[in-house]
Amino acid sequence: MGFLAPWFLAGLAALGLPIYVHLLRQHKTEPLPFSSLMFFEQRTQSSIKHRRLRYLLLMALRLLLLFLIVLAFANPFWKSMTPVNRGEALLVVAVDNSFSMRAGTRLADAKQGAAGIIAGKGGKRVQVIALGNQADILTKPEQDAGALRAAIESIRPGDGKTNFGEFSRAVRSISNAARAPLEVHLFSDFQRTGLPAGFNDLQMPTGAELKLHAVANGAEGNFAVETVNAPATVWDTKKARVQATVAGYETQAAKKNVSLVVNGRVLQTKPVELAAGGRATVEFIGLEANYGFAKGEVRVDGNDALPGDDRMLFAVERADPKKALMVHEGRDSRSPLYYRAALGAASESAFTLDAMPVEQAGGLNLSRYAFVVVADVLSLPAAFEESLTKYVQTGGSVMLALGPSSARRNRLPVIGDPVTEGKYYSRDGARFDSVGYVDSTFAPLAKAGGWQGVRFYYAVRTPAAGTRMLARLTDETPLLYEKRVGEGRVLVFASGLDNLTNDFPLSPAFVAFAEQSARYMAGVDERQSVAAVGTSIELRAQRETALGVEVMDPDGKRALSLSEASRAASFRVEREGYFEIRRANGRHEMIAVNADRRESDLGLIPDETRQLWSGSASGDARAGEGPAATGKKEEEQVHPFWWHLLLAALLAAVIESVFSSRYLGVEQEA
C-alpha cells in the first residue's frame, strides 16, 4: 500500500480541532434576577468539570470525518500482480521515406527488406508504417500478404524530415491499442539529425522487440544549396539581389558552379570555392523576370548521391509600384504633399499615391489600393466609411492620422474608438511634447530612429483600449497604436501628417517612417515566399472569420476542402514545390517550399546509440524466450481507493449531523 500524494497527510494536524472544541468549550451561565444574596454562601466555583470532554461519540465522528477526507486527498493505493494474456505477437514494419532516403537506392532497398519481413511473417498479424515528419500508419493489423505488400509498394519518396521521436510515439500507441507484444522492424538510413532532443523520446513500450535495419553503409559526402535570400517582390529588376549559401557535408575541398534560374532560364552562373566540409556565399545582382509571379531557384552542380538538395526554390513577384490612397480635407494641401514626397524619396519606389478630397471619395473601388490613409478628416461619407470598414475586415490596412478636425468627431472611423480630447501643448504652458516610449520591435519605428527630436504641438487623445501600443508621448498620450479589425489592421497616429500639428514631416525620420509603414500596411515584408516542408502557413489572422482562402498545390489542385478553406487558420505544407494562395481580399501569393536542409547532412547515428535504442524496451522481450514470446505475463496493477474513502466520509458526515442535531436540541431544552 502507498500514497500517490503523501504530502496531503500533513492535513492530519487538523484532527486537533475537534478535540480543542470539545475540551475547551466555555461554560456559559445566564444571570437571573434575585431579591437578596444574604442567604447565599460564598464559595469558589471549580472549572475542572467544564474542561472535561463532552459528547465523546460526536467528537469521534468528527475526528473520523476529518481523517477520511485527509486520507482520500492523499490518494492511497494498493498493488497486485495480475496475470495478463497479451495474445500473439504483432509485427510492426516501418519504412523511412524521408527526404534523405532519396540518396542512391536507399528507399528501394528499404522497401525490399520490408517485403522480405512480410514474406516470412508466418501467421502473425502485421502493421505497416511510413516514417517522415510524422509516422503514418498505413494498415490495420493485417494477415493478408497481398494487402501488406501493396501498402509497402505504395510508399513514395517524401520531402519531410526524419522524426524518430514520432516513430517511437506511434509504436507506443500501437502497443496500447493492441495489448500484445510487439516485434518492430525499422528500415532507415538512421540519419543523426532525425534523433529527438531527449533520448527518453525513443523509449520503446514494455514487451516490444526493436530491430533496426540500416540501408546506408556509412556517411556520404553531399553538397547542397543551404539557404536562399531573395526579395518577395521586385520593382526594379536591376537592383534586385539574391544571396545563396552552398554547404558541403562530409566533403572534400571543391570548386563548384552556382546558377540563378528563373522560370527555367539560367540568368547567371558564378563559381564558388568550398573548403572541406565548409560553406560559401554567392550573390547575384539583377533578377530579370516577367510581370507577375516567377518561379526561381538556385542550383549547384553537386554530382553527389542526393541530387534533390542541389537546388533551392524561391518565388518572386515582379510588380509595378502599388497604389495607395490618401483621403483628406479639401483645404488640406500639406498632408498629401509631404506624404507623397516621402514615398517618392524612399529607397525603392514601391508605391504611388492617389490623393483626393473626402468629398470625391465616394464610389471608389478600394480593392485597387494596397492601403488607405485618412488624414485628419472631420467626417466621411456614410457609403465610403462602410466600404472602408469592409475593406479592412477582408484584410486591408488603414492609417488614421488625427488632427483638429478629427478631434471634433465623437468616434474614430472603422474602429469606433471614442475621441477624448484634442490637446494643444502651447495652452498648457509647454510649447511642445516629445516621444517618451517607442516599441523598438516595430520596424517602421526602429528604422525611423524612434522619432528622437521630433516635436509635437498637438495630439488627439483616445482610450486606445485593446490595442498594440507602439509609441507614447512623455505625458502618456497614445501617439501610435495598432488595432486588428477582422483580417486587417488599423494604425492610429494621434497627430497630423502636415507641419502644423508637429514638425515630423520636416524630419529625416519621416521618410523612413512613411516607407516602412507603407510596406508594413501593404504586407510587402510579411509575405512568406520561402518555407520548409513541415511548416505551417498562416491563412487568416482570426479563426472566426469565414472568408474563403484558396490554396493550390504544385500540381494545380486545391489543397483544402471547402470547410478548411473557410475556417482553417493555417495550412501545413508536406511536399516541395510552388504553392499559390488566393485570399478573399484579392491578394495572391506564391510560396516556394523546400525540403528541410537538415536532411542534407547524411551523417549516421553512432552504433552505440542504436544499440541503446534497440535495447530500450523495458521487460524481457526477446525472440523465443521470456513471457512476451509466449504472450503470457504478469503485470503490476495499481488500485487506488480514494473514492471509497470519500463515500465513507459522506456517511460519517450524515451520522455526525444527526448526532449534532440531537445533542444541540437536548442542550437547548435544558
pLDDT digits (tens, 9 = 90+) for 332-342: 999 999 999 99
Q: Looking at residue 604, what is its pLDDT? A: 92
Give 628's pLDDT tier (boundaries 50, 70, 90).
Answer: very low
Q: Which domains does the chain have, with CATH numbers?
A: 87-219+616-630 (3.40.50.410), 222-319 (2.60.40.10), 322-522 (3.40.50.880), 530-594 (2.60.40)
Cell 556509412 locates to 218
pLDDT of residue 3: 77
pLDDT band per the 50, 70, 90 thresholds, residue 29? low
Q: What kind and span of H or E run contains 630? A: helix 626-630
* pLDDT value of residue 618: 47
Residue 547: predicted pLDDT: 66
Give the pLDDT confidence of 547-579 residue by residue, as tens digits. Answer: 678 899 999 999 988 888 888 888 899 999 999
If we measure between CA atoms, which residue out of 355, 362, 315, 360 comes closest to residue 339?
Answer: 355
User: DSSP label at 399?
Assistant: E
Q: What's the pLDDT score for residue 627?
A: 38
User: For 135-153, what is each residue's pLDDT tens digit?
Assistant: 999 999 988 999 999 999 9
Q: Is the pLDDT reported for residue 456 higher than 70? A: yes
Q: How far is CA 255 from CA 246, 247, 251, 307, 376, in A?
A: 11, 12, 12, 17, 61
Q: Is 0.85 topped by the overall pTM?
A: no
Whether the CB-CB separation of 22 and 54 falls below 8 Å is answered with: yes
Instruction: Report helix, strand and coil shares of the chain as percent, to nearest 5.
Output: 30, 30, 40
- pLDDT, tens only, 232-270: 888 888 888 999 999 999 999 999 999 999 999 999 999
Task: Supply the pLDDT for residue 87.
Answer: 57
Residue 264's CB is within 10 A of a number of other CB atoms, namely 7
* b (16+ CB within 10 A) / e for 31-47: eeeeeeeeeeeeeeeee
- Give the burial string for 618-653 (b: 16+ CB within 10 Å, else e): ebebeeeeebbbeeebeeeeeeeebeebeebbeebb
Across the range 452-464, mean pLDDT stands at 92
Residue 404 has pLDDT above 90, yes or no: yes
Please state the rounded mean pLDDT for residues 493-498.
94
Provide the strand spans (E) within 456-612: 458-461, 468-473, 478-485, 488-493, 530-532, 536-538, 550-552, 570-572, 577-582, 588-594
Residue 631 is predicted with a pLDDT of 45
Intra-chain end-to-end CA distance of the chain, in Å: 49
The per-residue pLDDT for 616 is 66
**Mean pLDDT score of the chain:** 86
The pLDDT of residue 452 is 85
- Residue 451: what pLDDT? 87
Q: What is the pLDDT of residues 272-312, one digit of tens each?
A: 999 999 999 999 999 988 899 999 999 999 788 899 999 99
Q: Are 324 and 305 in contact (CB under 8 A)?
A: no
Q: How far apart are CA 287 and CA 145, in angstroms?
A: 55
Pick the closest to residue 203 from 628, 609, 617 (CA basis).
617
pLDDT attached to residue 623:
39
Rounded CA-CA distance 335/350 in Å is: 19
Dist CA 168 CA 244 (whole Å): 36
Burial 95-127, CB ≥16 within 10 A → b, else e: bbbbbbbbbeebbebbbebbbebbeebeeebbb
Range name among 454-463, 499-508, 621-630 with the lowest pLDDT average: 621-630
Residue with the bigger pLDDT between 7 and 293: it is: 293
Q: Give the model confidence (pLDDT) of 34-56 as tens digits.
A: 777 676 677 665 554 445 556 77
Q: Is 347 a residue whose pLDDT tops 80?
A: no
User: Which residue from 553, 513, 522, 577 is spatially nearest to 319, judged by alpha carbons?
Assistant: 522
How far is it, in rounded angstroms, from Cα 380 to Cα 366? 15
Residues 57-68 have a mean pLDDT of 83
Q: Work out the percent of the chain whose per-residue pLDDT is above 70.
A: 89
Of 484, 333, 492, which Cα lies nearest the Cα of 409?
Answer: 492
Higher pLDDT pick, 617 / 3: 3
